[in-house]
Amino acid sequence: MANEKGYNEILNHKGIWERINMNVRCNYCRQSFNLSRDYLVDAVAEATEKKQKYHTVECINCRKAIKVPVVQMKRYAPEAPAEDEG
């Protein structure tokens, strides 16, 4: 395989990955809005602690609940730095 770097590593190398937010669209009113990376870190931590598969986000326009899969949120949340043992 010619390119052994992962997609996340390539984006992180270019400095693009830090600026990417998760885009969510309401199923009811079709309003689109972004979830910041800080919010995603907190939401993923809370969902994994409670062993949930979905996190509920309130639409900014119609205020209805939107279920966002935790697996999808983990893709956009920054990875925790690896701790060195030694």
pLDDT of 9 reads 58
Cα–Cα distance measured from residue 38 to residue 51, given in angstroms and rounded to the nearest whole number? 20
Contact yes or no for 26/66 (Cβ under 8 A)? yes
Task: For residues 56-62, give the mean pLDDT.
Answer: 94
- Write down the pTM of the prediction: 0.68
Percent of the chain scored above 70 by pLDDT? 70
Q: Is the pLDDT of residue 83 over 60?
A: no
Return contacts of 42-47, CB within 8 angstroms, 24+ apart.
43/70, 43/73, 44/70, 44/73, 44/74, 44/77, 47/73
End-to-end CA gap in the chain: 33
For residue 58, the surrounding DSSP H or E stretch is strand 54-58
What does the domain layout of the chain look like in residue ranges? Answer: 21-76
Q: Is the pLDDT of residue 54 over 90?
A: yes
